[in-house]
Amino acid sequence: MLVACRMANIQVKDVPAELHRRLRSCARRRGTTIRDVVMDAIRRELEHERFLRRLAEREEVDLGVSAAELLVAERAERGFEN
């Protein structure tokens, strides 16, 4: 059985000329369309939002040491000055 998938449309008005130029240039470099570049950006943004939401829901873990202390120790081990 085939199920028809209805697609929605999104229209973005008043896109600054510089942003449009950059989108067009990006699409050319990728060998694709502006639509595909925008769709990829939307997907990435939604996945990033989902990741942040899931991260916020996780329980906090106490490592017994602060992140700042870990960074200082790692930098010292690698020979960087603080």
Task: Give the integer Cα–Cα distance in Å for 62 and 59.
Answer: 10
Give the domain range for residue 50: 18-58
Task: Give the integer Cα–Cα distance in Å for 54 and 21.
Answer: 35
Task: Give the integer Cα–Cα distance in Å for 41 and 27.
Answer: 12
pTM assigned to the model: 0.66
The reply to whether 68 falls in a domain is no
Overall domain count for the chain: 1
Q: What are the tens digits of pLDDT across the range 19-76?
A: 999 999 999 999 999 999 999 999 999 999 999 999 999 998 888 888 899 899 999 9
Dig out the tokens for 17 from the structure.
């000329």
The reply to whether 77 falls in a domain is no
Task: Give the integer Cα–Cα distance in Å for 73 and 69.
Answer: 6
Task: Give the integer Cα–Cα distance in Å for 37 and 23.
Answer: 7
The reply to whether 80 falls in a domain is no
